[in-house]
Amino acid sequence: MRTAIRSFLNLNPGMDSLVILGTYSAYIFSLTVTLGLVKGEAFYEASAVVMAFILLGRYIEARLKLRTGEAVKKLAQLQSRSARVVRDGVEVEIPIEDVRIGDLVRIKPGERIPVDGIVKEGSGYVDESAMTGEPNPVEKSPGDPVYAGTTVLRGSLLVYTTRVGNDTVLGQIIRLVRIAQNSRPKIQGVVDRVSGIFTWIVIAIAISTLAYWTLLAGVPLSTAIIFVASVLVIACPCALGLATPAAIVTGFGRGAELGVLIKDASVIDRVHRIKTVVFDKTGTLTVGKPGVRIVKPLGEEVDERDVIMLAAIAEKRSEHPIAQAIVEKAKDMGLTIKDPEAFENIPGQGVIAWIGGRVIAVGNDKLMRGFEIEIEGDVKRISEEIMNEGLTVVYVAIEGRLIGIIGVGDAVRPEAVEVVKRLRSSGYRVVMLTGDKERSARIIASRIGVDDVIAEASPEDKAEAIDRLKSSGGVAMVGDGINDAASLSKADLGIAMGGGTDIAREAGDIILVKEDLRGVVRAIELLKAIRRKIYYNLFWAFIYNVILIPIAAGALYETAGLYLRPELAGIAMAMSSISVTASAQTLKRFSG
């Protein structure tokens, strides 16, 4: 009541104002009949029933709204209240607010990890499904990152704390989702303007209804009051107002559950314009980490283990990514890597190391020529085959004799082919945009089914390429949230591969928490589903008012003798709001 009066005084009447006008007009008219001031039929029950159904509708709507925000609640429930910290060799359980960066936190099987950090000791399997959507447990060992809100299924971990509270990835996700759920697409601005004048239109219709039935049609005043009350009660700007936010809150919450963080609702206005999806190569279409892909021993007296072991000994002290990939391969093979007696780095060529009085050379063909080793015949053929795979060729020689060839390169993400195929089948043009060499880029592109390649592009070149592509329609850019910031911001839709970094600071409209390219398709389809749901809800909310307001005003009374009593109008109004909110709930079933 107070809200309705206040809104009238502010010349901004809303749904409450219409309900109060309708019920009180029916009540006051009934009171005048009871007092004998006018003749007609009293219908006190209409006011009571209308208010009862309005309150029931509000209750059901509130319950549905609570369900709409369940996704954020579930995420918030993953936050721990305490942590078991190891201090001076003693385990102490303290409130999570007292945990500091650098603290060592012990997590036992079945417990939730309370902080972001790095595994210091122990190993085990962690369930990250609640945050990333990944159903399979992830193995963790010393040096691996772990995140707050995930659960240790097996094993015990001692974790070095790097982030706590709202600074954890989980805390950032919750904050981003809440901000995004309160953001508004352009369509909401249009709806707000329509809703703003809608109430005045309804009041004008109610006055016109009263004038027509009393002055022109000559029906009893009691009948005209029924029509007026029904018009005021049945009109529902609320359904129009709920159509967009209900879909956004539910859809964005579902996205968070699937590891797709939508940072702003304005992307809903742009997703339907997307014609081209552009991918960065390194770290997006590929895993972003060099690895040993091919090992070719040369000669019957050596095998793969010999080649890798000698190469790892030579590369052990090098910090070059290729050197680290070879050392990592040796560790994976269970090899013992001895320390070289001496080590020399030859810039642009490779490394030379000495062990047991013997010299090992690991590097490119230029380094080999320095040892009078010629790359010809079968060796040249094998080298070209490796290069045709888009890999870097590394030669391994000992005492001036070539014993093996190693192919090192970035691995294509296993889901890349499937994602490119799905996008192309949906009518999108797929482009690779990379700073890598043309030959390497085209080899990777052909392997995953991408025809359009823009290679050897600087960050500035990438941004300019996005501008050119936009001349043919909307562009979605998928890349690293930091390195590709310029091109992500230029695109109509920027999608950043999160990977557990500082997601709140990353560029891009959407962040994929889980480094899985299938999230790109999932994100685009989710945005389209939210957009369809918004327009679906708006359509039916509009149709509801267009059809039922004339009926409430008595459009069928003269021809068919049918009219809508205020009680039924109240039920219809309540159901319209409930149906819009319930319709948005179907987005919770989205799987992508």
What residues have CB less than 8 Å from 134, skipping those under 6 apart?
Answer: 128, 259, 514, 516
Confidence of residue 441 (pLDDT cuts 50, 70, 90): confident
Confidence of residue 36 (pLDDT cuts 50, 70, 90): low
In the chain, which segments carry CATH 2.70.150.10? 77-176
Conformational region of residue 125, where left means phi above 0, alpha means psi within -120 to 50, and beta covers everything else:
beta
Q: Is 468 helix (H, G, I), strand (E, B) or coil?
A: helix
In the chain, which segments carry CATH 3.40.50.1000? 261-286+413-521
Torsion of CA 11, 15, 16, 22, to 10 degrees: 100
Mean pLDDT of the chain: 84
Residue 218 CA: distances (Å) to CA of 205, 245, 427, 557: 18, 44, 62, 13
Helix (H) or strand (E) holding 571, with range, is helix 566-585
Q: Which two tokens stand for residue 411?
A: 């691995």
Helix (H) or strand (E) holding 286, with range, is strand 286-297
Q: Is 510 helix (H, G, I), strand (E, B) or coil?
A: strand
User: What CATH code would you report for 261-286+413-521?
Assistant: 3.40.50.1000
Q: Which two tokens stand for residue 470?
A: 């936009």
CA-based nearest residue to 410, from 428, 436, 385:
436
- The Cα 332–Cα 312 span in angstroms is 12
8 A C-beta contact, residue 522 and residue 592: yes
Q: Which residues are known catalytic residues?
A: 280
Cβ count near 109 (within 10 Å): 13
Q: Is 358 helix (H, G, I), strand (E, B) or coil?
A: strand
Alpha-helical segments (H) within 12-114: 15-34, 44-68, 70-77
- The Cα 483–Cα 507 span in angstroms is 9
Confidence of residue 49 (pLDDT cuts 50, 70, 90): low
- State yes or no: pLDDT of 17 exceeds 70: no
Residue 423 CA: distances (Å) to CA of 240, 416, 420, 430, 520: 34, 11, 5, 7, 9
- State yes or no: pLDDT of 485 exceeds 80: no
pLDDT digits (tens, 9 = 90+) for 242-257: 788 888 888 988 888 8
- State yes or no: pLDDT of 115 exceeds 60: yes
Which DSSP letter does residue 334 get? T
- How far is CA 438 from its chain centroid? 32
Confidence of residue 504 (pLDDT cuts 50, 70, 90): very low
Q: What is the largest CA-CA distance in the chain?
A: 121
Which DSSP letter does residue 586 get? G
pLDDT digits (tens, 9 = 90+) for 125-168: 998 876 665 667 888 999 999 999 889 998 999 999 999 988 88
Helix (H) or strand (E) holding 126, with range, is strand 124-127
CA-based nearest residue to 580, from 552, 539, 550, 549:
539
Choices 3.30.1330.10, 3.40.50.970, 3.30.565.10, 2.70.150.10: CATH for 77-176:
2.70.150.10
- For the chain, what's the residue count? 592
- State yes or no: pLDDT of 81 exceeds 50: yes
More confident residue, 463 or 503: 463
More confident residue, 275 or 570: 275
Q: Which two tokens stand for residue 519?
A: 């999230």
In the chain, which segments carry CATH 3.40.1110.10? 291-411
CA-based nearest residue to 526, from 180, 286, 225:
180
Question: Considering just the CA atoms, what is the radius of gyration of the chain in Å?
Answer: 34
> Residue 353 pairs with which residues in a beta bridge?
343, 360
For residue 386, with 0-12 CB atoms within 10 Å meaning exposed, 13-18 middle and 19 or more buried, which class applies? buried
CA-based nearest residue to 507, from 466, 470, 468, 473:
466
Strand ordering across the sheet containing 138-140: 138-140, 124-127, 151-155
pLDDT digits (tens, 9 = 90+) for 259-285: 888 888 889 989 999 999 999 988 889
Which DSSP letter does residue 216 get? I
Torsion of CA 109, 110, 114, 118, to 10 degrees: 40
Q: Which fold has domain 291-411?
A: Calcium-transporting ATPase, cytoplasmic domain N (3.40.1110)
Q: Which two tokens stand for residue 524?
A: 């685009």
pLDDT at 60: 60
8 A C-beta contact, residue 524 and residue 502: no
- The Cα 380–Cα 386 span in angstroms is 10
- State yes or no: pLDDT of 15 exceeds 70: no
- The Cα 160–Cα 177 span in angstroms is 27
Confidence of residue 501 (pLDDT cuts 50, 70, 90): very low
Amino acid at 108: K
